[in-house]
Structure formats: structure tokens, C-alpha cells
């Protein structure tokens, strides 16, 4: 579609990089909004959340790029330096989740007596949905994470030679499928965050719902992906979806035990 917005001399602005940056900014602002709405709007809380997003951004990008490289290594055999060109596209969301989890644990250890970490996760849940959605638009612009061939009327054709998708082939707009799904997921979690007290959701449950619903949605959407080789009849994304779903269920039990005074809504 439009992998590059413009170039001025040696500077090139990639659509993917811009939208990922905007998605990160949106997620941060929404997280601050939910924190303030929950009664945590002090300057110290803001500084801690800025620090949290710094850890999440750095570790998330490293994890997302690492997973992309190991699952698409053939793309880099002729140019290993392109491994570091993350602004051109090529990040795996599950790798980002794994890397961001490590970054979160480092941040949690440093700030365990300042900010209630399970509440912080709940503030991030709807924000991540909308931020991730913007990132998927970046994938669509750059042509990565493309769909499988289709004869459907809503199929898309990539014609820009700088796109990562196959050219002049009608493909499922898998990136748009995920953008729509993530937008709905973010809206749903936003609604639940407003009703958290009425629904009697324990701290951390909102974030676990994000993980559970995302893993289910991603598992289904990957049936329409065409950029990944299958392993045991499933794409890497689908295999990671299963692991994420099971991990979220395990964490749910842990969260319930550590917050037994509240009565959470069943997921």
C-alpha cells in the first residue's frame, strides 16, 4: 500500500514506524487516563507509568523483532544488517508480549512499593487494544503480516514494490481483520473498566481478559494469514495463541488467590 510516506535526503519516514509510534503514544495516554479515573493521577504515578512504558517499549520491540527474525530468517540471509531495521516492519506481537512481560517484571521489582501493579495492568488493558490496532494499520501499510490468497470481493492487491506482501495477488486483508477485532476488544475492555466496581472485577482480571480474548481472536484470524509457515497444521501465531491462552488461565488462578477478598466476575 504505502510503505513509505516520504523521503528527504537520507531521512525516510516509514508508515509502519509512524503508526507503531502513534499506537504507543495512544496506549500511554489512555493508560494515564484510566489511572487518573481510578484515583491515581499524581505526578509520581505519571512518572512511574512513563517509566513503565519505557521498559515495555524497549523490551517489547526487542522481543517482537527477535521472534520475527527466528520465524522469518530466510528474509535476512542476504542482508543480516536489515535485522535491525525495525522501522520498516517485521514485529511479532507474541514476541512483543513476551519481551514486554520481562520488562514489566523488571519495572515491578523496582516500583513494587509505589504503584499497585495489578491495577496498572488493568489500566493498560484497553489501551493496549487500541494501540495494537494502530500498529496493525502500520502492518497493512507496509505489507507485512499479509493474508492468504482469496477470491473474495473485499480482497486487497499490493502493487507497491516496497511492500513486504506478494505483489499483484488478491489477498485477505488479515491486518484489517485484526485491526477491527482489536478496536472492538479495546472498546469492550474500556466499557468493562467503567463498570469494574459494578461487575466486581478483582484487580488484574481486566488485563487477563485482554490476554484471553486476544489469544482467541488471533487464533481465528491466523487462518486467513498467508505469511507464516505452519507447524503441526497451525501457524506460529496460533501455537503462541494456545500458550498465551493457557498462561492467562494459570495467571487468573494466581490473581484470584492473591486477591481473595474480592469476588471477580467469571471469565
Tens of pLDDT along the chain (267 residues)?
788 888 887 788 889 889 989 999 999 999 999 999 998 988 888 999 999 999 999 998 888 888 888 777 777 777 777 777 776 666 777 888 889 999 999 988 887 667 788 899 999 999 999 999 999 999 999 998 899 999 999 999 999 998 989 999 999 999 999 999 999 999 999 999 988 878 888 888 999 999 999 999 999 999 999 987 787 789 888 999 999 999 999 988 877 776 655 444 444
Is 224 contained in some domain? yes
pLDDT at 263: 44
Is 99 contained in some domain? yes
pLDDT at 76: 75
Whether the predicted model's global pTM rises above the 0.75 cut: yes
| Contacting residues for 69 by C-beta, under 8 A, at least 6 apart | 76, 83, 90
Cβ pair 192, 209 in contact under 8 A: yes
Is 265 contained in some domain? no
Is 75 contained in some domain? yes
Is 100 contained in some domain? yes
| Alpha-carbon gap, residue 211 to 46, rounded angstroms | 24
Is 132 contained in some domain? yes
Q: How far, rounded to the nearest angstrom, does the alpha carbon of residue 61 sit from its chain's CA centroid?
A: 11
pLDDT at 258: 67
Cβ pair 214, 185 in contact under 8 A: yes
| Alpha-carbon gap, residue 86 to 148, rounded angstroms | 23
Determine how many CB atoms are found less than 10 A away from the CB of residue 107: 22
Cβ pair 97, 244 in contact under 8 A: yes
pLDDT at 233: 85
Cβ pair 96, 27 in contact under 8 A: no
H-helix or E-strand spanning residue 103: helix 93-111
Is 266 contained in some domain? no
For the chain, the domain total comes to: 1
The label of the residue with cell 506481537 reads 93
| Alpha-carbon gap, residue 82 to 89, rounded angstroms | 11
Is 267 contained in some domain? no
Which residue range is the domain that position 158 belongs to? 4-258
Q: Is 167 helix (H, G, I), strand (E, B) or coil?
A: strand
pLDDT at 260: 58
Amino acid at each position: 500500500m504505502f510503505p513509505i510516506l516520504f523521503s528527504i535526503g537520507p531521512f525516510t519516514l516509514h508508515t509502519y514506524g509512524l503508526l507503531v509510534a502513534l499506537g504507543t503514544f495512544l496506549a500511554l495516554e489512555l493508560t494515564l487516563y484510566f489511572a487518573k479515573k481510578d484515583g491515581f493521577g499524581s505526578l509520581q504515578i505519571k512518572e512511574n507509568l512513563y517509566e513503565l512504558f519505557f521498559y515495555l517499549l524497549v523490551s517489547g520491540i526487542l522481543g517482537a523483532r527477535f521472534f520475527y527474525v527466528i520465524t522469518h530468517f530466510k528474509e535476512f540471509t542476504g542482508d543480516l544488517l536489515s535485522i535491525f531495521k525495525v522501522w520498516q516492519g517485521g514485529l511479532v506481537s507474541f514476541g512483543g508480549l513476551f519481551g514486554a512481560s520481562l520488562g514489566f517484571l523488571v519495572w515491578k521489582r523496582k516500583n513494587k512499593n509505589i504503584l499497585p501493579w495489578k491495577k496498572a495492568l488493568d489500566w493498560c488493558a484497553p489501551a493496549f487494544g487500541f494501540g495494537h490496532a494502530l500498529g496493525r494499520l502500520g502492518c497493512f501499510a507496509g505489507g507485512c503480516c499479509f493474508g492468504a490468497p482469496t477470491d473474495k470481493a473485499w480482497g486487497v492487491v499490493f502493487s507497491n514494490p516496497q511492500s513486504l506482501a506478494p505483489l499483484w495477488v488478491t489477498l485477505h486483508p488479515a491486518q484489517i481483520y485484526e485491526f477491527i477485532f482489536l478496536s472492538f476488544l479495546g472498546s469492550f475492555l474500556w466499557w468493562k473498566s467503567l463498570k469494574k466496581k459494578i461487575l466486581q472485577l478483582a484487580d488484574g482480571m481486566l488485563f487477563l481478559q485482554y490476554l484471553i480474548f486476544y489469544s482467541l481472536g488471533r487464533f481465528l484470524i491466523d487462518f486467513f494469514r498467508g505469511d507464516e509457515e505452519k507447524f503441526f497444521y497451525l501457524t506460529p501465531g496460533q501455537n503462541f495463541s494456545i500458550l498465551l491462552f493457557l498462561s492467562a488461565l494459570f495467571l487468573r488462578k494466581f490473581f484470584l488467590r492473591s486477591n481473595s477478598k474480592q469476588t471477580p466476575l467469571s471469565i
